Structure 1
């Protein structure tokens, strides 16, 4: 077995991320290129119809009235939280760019509308990666996520299986479940965040000041050293999945403004 830290035979990785996500497209990619052999990056430029499908699925899941609660939070976030979060992202990215050098010419780049497109499948097959890191919103089809030798992994913003699907950090806060505000490194299978769990990662945060968006980035970028070690173990065949037997399982969705106001009010009372 090869080891990600072995410079003679470093494990081959591919990153899948969105074009408008600078922290992952630039920052996480630099980290991967430094700690592994990053052979490719898939940059997703999704068409508008994909967003419409996500909206339709959310309405079907929670109903139209609750979806208005979702829209209200989106508006609130844009008006009152987005500017501060963008500043935090910029500062974090600047720090990563100082710590890790730019990508070299050996890393191939593919722009695609979907991670499940034929071009992505062929791209991955040609690169023969050991590990793929999927930092995207779309579920991957089996013919894609089974290509890498050691599997495709997600850094899920939430502790699984309790907080599966979207925005697990937000919903743990909304449930006053601070112990389960974190990130899960899991291997993709056919379900929605139901694959084998290889690690839980947490970070210090201030729930009265840090938005869920910042928190779900912190639990990744504050744990890069630990993630490097875990990828080494996975590639070397030394990592065993953690047992999740008997734990409750919940599938969550988009944040609600009413839930946000409640957890922020409760957090301020505790402060």
Structure 2
């Protein structure tokens, strides 16, 4: 564990998964992470129900078909590329050290607020959680910082790298580090950078490239905030838009039109 800031407490608020494991080890090696609060994810059934209410059942059916017929097979066939990115970028995906993990039912639960108030963090790093309620964001007097797999506010929501390429917009295919507010990826921007996928990359590997590109920005943001030098950047020009998962038809159409896998 790093110990560059022994008096500073870094707390991670996260959902379970490989990106959380990688992010934890990167920050822990650099600064030392005090605790990781991990929430129980929303059930798949509840997620699909909410999505259907927002997008309609036909769209969600198309998204399920995309997952079954494209994303799952792509994940299987992309394992060697994912491993190559991990090795090249020195990404450590070992499991979290359980002695520093605190489990809560939801990031927005009273249990989580109580834990945060007891931990008294100097900075909170967010990764892969549900939308954080204002009552949580205002429960402790420190900044919440998130790494988003997309260039905000143009590509908010999910799969920002894929959608930029699908829109023939590679100049906005990248990753953002931003402050968290009660909106969906609407917080003030700290830093952004682009990724440059190869012919080997696809829908499944773009997020790993984005995570690798975002970690140096996140480390700089944490360092700047802990030293009182955090600066914000203006948002890029363009329409703010919230993106969801592609449907099977959208994916096939984009692949045919511009070869985006």
TM-score when normalising by structure 1: 0.82
Partner of 2:202: 211
Name which of structure 1's ranges 32-41 and 231-240 shifts more when overlaid on structure 2.
231-240
CA shift in 2, pair 1:89/1:127, >3 Å = farther
CA shift in 2, pair 1:159/1:245, >3 Å = closer
CA-atom RMSD, angstroms?
2.8
TM-score when normalising by structure 2: 0.85
Aligned length: 257
SS in 1 for 2:205: helix
Check whether the contact 1:159–1:180 (CA below 8 A) recurs between aligned residues. yes
Partner of 1:201: 193
Determine whether 1:96 maps to 2:91: yes
Flag structure 2 segments of 5+ consecutive residues without an equivalent. Answer: none
Check whether the contact 2:177–2:190 (CA below 8 A) recurs between aligned residues. yes
- Mapping 1:1-271, distance limit 5 Å: 7-9=4-6, 11-19=8-16, 21-25=17-21, 27-46=22-41, 48=43, 51-89=44-82, 95-97=90-92, 108-206=100-198, 208-244=199-235, 247-268=238-259
Question: How far has the Cα of 1:42 moved from its partner?
Answer: 1.6
Check whether the contact 1:11–1:235 (CA below 8 A) recurs between aligned residues. yes
CA shift in 2, pair 1:74/1:96, >3 Å = same
Flag structure 1 segments of 5+ consecutive residues without an equivalent. Answer: none
Question: How far has the Cα of 1:178 moved from its partner?
Answer: 1.0
